[in-house]
C-alpha cells in the first residue's frame, strides 16, 4: 500500500523533498532529466509543468509517479497517469496542452527565438490531473528551453524583394547552409532555422506568404519562382557559406516548394541531398500518390538511391523539432505519443543526413 507523504515518525528525520533538473538550460531538442529526492517510500506524487507562450497563453502537463524504495523517482521512470503513460523521458514537455479555459485553436510556435520558453515544474503531493483546486507544492525547479545557442547571429533580411531571417553559427566558417520553407500558415517562422544554426548550418527562414512586407493581399502567394531562386542564391553567394553545400528543407506546402525550386528555377542543388520533406502523410490519397510518383520516377532514372522516405503511422501532419507540444487530435491528426516519437526520430535522422551529405 502507498504510504502517506508525511508521518510523525519520519517528519523530523527526512530532509524536505527536493526537485532537480539537468540541465536547467538547454536547446529544445536536448533531453532534460528531472528527479525527485527525499520522499517517503513508494508515495504517490505528481509533476506539473507549466509555461506561457509568447502570446501569453498557459500550457501545462501532468505526470504521475510513485517514489521507489529509496524515496526517489526520475522522469525516465514510467508515468502511471496524467498527460501521458509509460516511460517517456520527455513526456512532460511534449504532452503540454493549453490550460482549461484558454483560447481555442492554439498552436505553439516560438515567436521570439532570442528568449527561451521558461518551464516551471512543480512536485505535488498525490496524483493530480487538473489545474483547478488547491495543491500542496512540495518542491519546484525552473527549466529554460532555447531554440538558439549562444553566439548564433540573427540577421533580418528585407532587401531586393526578399523577406526572411538569416541565422549564422558562431565561428569563422564557411558553413553548409539550409533554405528553410514553412507552409500555408504564412508569416515568418524562425525557430527551426535558429535551431539548425545552433547545429552549425547557416539557415535562411524565408517568408513567402502572409507577411506584411510581401506584395499583394496577405491571403495569396504573390511571389514566383524567381523569388525562391533569389533566396537560394543569397545563401549560395554568402561569404560564410560553402557554395556547393546548400540544401532545402520544407514543411507542409513548403515540401512542394522544395521539389519545385531545383526543377523549375535552374539552381544547382547538391544532387545527393537537396530536400527534406517534413510533411507526414496521414491517410490522404493525393499525398500517397505523389510520394509513389516521386519514388517511381527516381527509380526509372536509376536514382532511387537518392530517396529516403520515412513513414510514421499514428503521427500527425506537421513534423517539427522534437519535444514540441502540439494540439494534434483536433487540428492535425495523429496520436500525441506517436507524434512525439516521430518528431524525435525524424530530427535525429535529419541531422545525421545533413552531417553525411552537406558537412562531410
In-domain check, residue 8: no
Which residue, of 146, 171, 203, is where some domain finishes? 146
Residues 249 and 277 reside in one and the same domain: yes
Residues 119 and 173 reside in one and the same domain: no
* Among candidate residues 45, 51, 39, 46, the one with its CA nearest the CA of residue 62: 46
In-domain check, residue 100: yes
Q: How far is CA 271 from the centre of its chain?
A: 27
Residues 242 and 157 reside in one and the same domain: yes
Q: Give the number of domains in the chain.
A: 2
Alpha helix stretches (DSSP H) within the chain:
91-94, 191-198, 225-236, 253-264, 285-300, 336-354
In-domain check, residue 292: yes
In-domain check, residue 353: yes
C-alpha grid cell, residue 29: 531538442
Compute the distance between CA of residue 319 and CA of residue 344 in angstroms, rounded to an integer.
9
Residues 234 and 120 reside in one and the same domain: no
Q: What CATH number has the domain bearing residue 271?
A: 3.40.50.1820
In-domain check, residue 9: no
Q: How are strands ordered across the β-sheet holding 137-146?
A: 25-27, 137-146, 117-125, 44-52, 58-66, 97-98
Who's near 167: CB < 8 A, 6+ residues apart? 148, 152, 153, 154, 155, 190, 193, 194, 196, 197, 202, 203, 204, 205
Q: Which long-range contacts (CB under 8 A, 24 or more apart) does 159-164 make?
A: 160/230, 161/223, 161/227, 161/230, 162/206, 162/227, 162/230, 162/231, 162/234, 163/188, 163/206, 163/207, 163/211, 163/213, 163/214, 164/188, 164/204, 164/205, 164/206, 164/207, 164/231
Residues 49 and 180 reside in one and the same domain: no
Q: What is the pTM of this model?
A: 0.89
In-domain check, residue 6: no
Which residue, of 100, 119, 146, is where some domain finishes? 146
User: DSSP secondary-structure letter at 306?
Assistant: G
Residue 193 has phi, psi (to 5 degrees) of -65, -45
Residues 54 and 189 reside in one and the same domain: no
In-domain check, residue 4: no
* Among candidate residues 300, 179, 182, 166, the one with its CA nearest the CA of residue 229: 179
Residues 314 and 262 reside in one and the same domain: yes
What is the block-wise mean pLDDT of the chain (360 residues), using blocks of 10 residues?
47 84 98 96 96 95 96 97 96 94 85 97 92 81 98 96 97 94 90 97 96 87 93 96 92 84 80 45 53 75 76 84 74 83 93 88
Look at residue 38 in the predicted model and tell me its pLDDT: 96
Look at residue 5 in the predicted model and tell me its pLDDT: 53
Residues 54 and 198 reside in one and the same domain: no
In-domain check, residue 342: yes
Which residue, of 146, 162, 179, is where some domain finishes? 146
Compute the distance between CA of residue 69 and CA of residue 3 in angstroms, rounded to an integer.
11
Residues 89 and 171 reside in one and the same domain: no
Residues 95 and 173 reside in one and the same domain: no
Residue 133 has phi, psi (to 5 degrees) of 95, 180
Residues 128 and 182 reside in one and the same domain: no
Q: Are 324 and 28 in contact (CB under 8 A)?
A: yes
* Among candidate residues 257, 258, 265, 253, the one with its CA nearest the CA of residue 225: 265
Q: What CATH number has the domain bearing residue 55?
A: 2.60.40.2240
* Among candidate residues 323, 337, 22, the one with its CA nearest the CA of residue 147: 323
Compute the distance between CA of residue 47 and CA of residue 211 in angstroms, rounded to an integer.
39
Residues 25 and 73 reside in one and the same domain: yes
User: DSSP secondary-structure letter at 359?
Assistant: I
> Residue 61: how many CA atoms within 13 Å on its side-chain side?
23
Which residue range(s) make up the domain with 220? Answer: 153-359
Compute the distance between CA of residue 25 and CA of residue 146 in angstroms, rounded to an integer.
8
Amino acid at each position: 500500500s502507498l504510504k502517506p507523504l508525511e508521518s510523525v515518525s519520519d517528519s523530523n528525520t527526512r530532509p524536505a523533498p527536493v526537485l532537480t533538473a539537468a540541465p536547467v538550460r538547454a536547446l529544445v531538442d536536448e533531453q532534460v532529466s528531472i528527479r525527485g529526492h527525499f520522499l517517503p517510500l513508494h508515495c504517490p506524487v505528481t509533476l506539473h509543468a507549466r509555461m506561457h507562450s509568447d502570446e501569453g497563453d498557459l500550457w501545462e502537463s501532468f505526470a504521475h509517479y510513485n517514489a521507489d524504495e529509496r524515496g526517489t523517482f526520475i522522469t525516465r521512470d514510467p508515468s502511471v497517469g496524467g498527460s501521458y503513460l509509460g516511460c517517456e523521458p520527455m513526456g512532460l514537455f511534449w504532452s503540454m496542452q493549453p490550460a482549461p479555459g484558454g483560447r481555442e485553436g492554439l498552436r505553439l510556435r516560438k515567436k521570439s527565438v532570442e528568449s527561451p520558453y521558461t518551464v516551471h515544474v512543480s512536485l505535488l503531493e498525490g496524483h493530480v490531473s487538473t489545474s483547478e483546486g488547491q495543491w500542496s507544492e512540495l518542491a519546484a525547479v525552473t527549466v529554460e528551453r532555447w531554440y538558439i545557442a549562444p553566439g548564433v547571429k540573427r540577421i533580418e533580411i528585407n532587401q531586393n524583394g526578399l523577406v526572411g531571417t538569416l541565422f549564422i553559427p558562431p565561428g569563422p566558417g564557411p558553413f553548409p547552409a539550409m533554405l528553410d520553407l514553412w507552409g500555408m500558415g504564412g508569416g515568418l517562422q524562425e525557430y527551426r532555422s535558429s535551431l539548425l544554426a545552433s547545429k552549425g548550418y547557416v539557415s535562411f527562414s524565408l517568408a513567402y506568404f502572409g507577411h506584411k512586407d510581401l506584395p499583394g493581399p496577405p491571403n495569396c502567394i504573390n511571389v514566383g519562382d524567381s523569388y525562391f531562386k533569389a533566396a537560394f542564391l543569397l545563401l549560395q553567394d554568402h561569404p560564410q557559406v560553402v557554395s556547393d553545400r546548400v540544401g532545402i528543407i520544407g514543411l507542409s506546402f513548403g515540401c512542394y516548394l522544395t521539389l519545385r525550386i531545383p526543377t523549375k528555377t535552374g539552381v544547382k542543388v547538391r544532387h545527393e541531398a537537396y530536400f527534406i520533406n517534413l510533411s507526414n502523410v496521414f491517410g490522404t490519397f493525393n499525398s500517397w500518390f505523389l510520394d509513389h510518383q516521386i519514388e517511381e520516377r527516381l527509380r526509372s532514372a536509376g536514382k532511387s538511391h537518392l530517396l529516403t522516405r520515412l513513414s510514421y503511422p499514428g503521427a500527425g501532419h506537421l513534423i517539427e523539432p522534437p519535444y514540441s507540444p502540439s494540439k494534434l487530435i483536433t487540428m492535425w491528426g495523429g496520436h500525441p505519443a506517436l507524434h512525439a516519437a516521430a518528431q524525435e526520430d525524424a530530427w535525429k535522422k535529419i541531422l545525421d543526413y545533413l552531417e553525411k551529405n552537406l558537412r562531410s
